[in-house]
């Protein structure tokens, strides 16, 4: 029996592959667990249409991420932090503060998990922070840390 895989199956193949399996294996394991569906002409056509739609959506997401990356490259955000005597800072600037600053100053909602920093910022000045918008798209955002 021919089956179209809806998910990766370890011993059979990757999502979207058409494989030949025993009828019992397909009816008792693959189809009930929604790992695959029988390869009828209607199912094959539906799968092709669904795959084309997913590819279109993925291309749109990639284009949106590239446009947002271009905006972020040009922009900069300012974060204020308390400073004591001699320019020593109290605390640090983390990804949460940067995410909040982006939302309030640029009007873009970027999750703090997408902002990549090795360590939090513990000094005044200008810094460059990476923002991972898509698996294929990264942007550099200028962050200015000023005295509150």
Tens-digit pLDDT profile for residues 33-63: 999 999 999 999 999 999 999 999 999 999 9
CATH class assigned to 2-63: alpha beta
Question: Which DSSP state fits 119?
Answer: S
pLDDT for position 89? 86
* Mean pLDDT, rounded, for 120-135: 92
Task: For residue 111, give the H/E element and its range.
Answer: none
The pLDDT-based confidence of 9 (bands split at 50, 70, 90) is very high
DSSP 3-state assignment of 88? coil
> What is the rounded average pLDDT for all residues in the chain?
92
Show me where the domains of the chain are located: 2-63, 65-147
The pLDDT-based confidence of 85 (bands split at 50, 70, 90) is confident
CATH class assigned to 65-147: alpha beta
């Amino acid at each position: 029996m021919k089956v179209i895989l809806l998910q990766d199956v370890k011993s059979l193949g990757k999502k979207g592959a058409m494989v030949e399996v025993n009828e019992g294996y397909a009816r008792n394991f693959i189809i009930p667990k929604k790992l695959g569906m029988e390869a009828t002409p209607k199912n094959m056509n539906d799968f092709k249409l669904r795959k084309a739609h997913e590819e279109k959506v993925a291309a749109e997401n990639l284009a949106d991420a590239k446009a947002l990356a271009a905006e972020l490259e040009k922009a900069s955000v300012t974060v204020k932090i308390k400073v004591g005597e001699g320019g020593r800072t109290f605390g640090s600037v983390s990804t949460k503060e940067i995410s909040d600053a982006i939302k309030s100053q640029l009007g873009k909602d970027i999750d703090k998990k997408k902002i990549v920093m090795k360590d939090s910022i513990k000094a005044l000045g200008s810094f460059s922070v990476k923002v991972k918008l898509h698996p294929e798209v990264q942007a550099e955002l200028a962050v200015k840390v000023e005295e509150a």
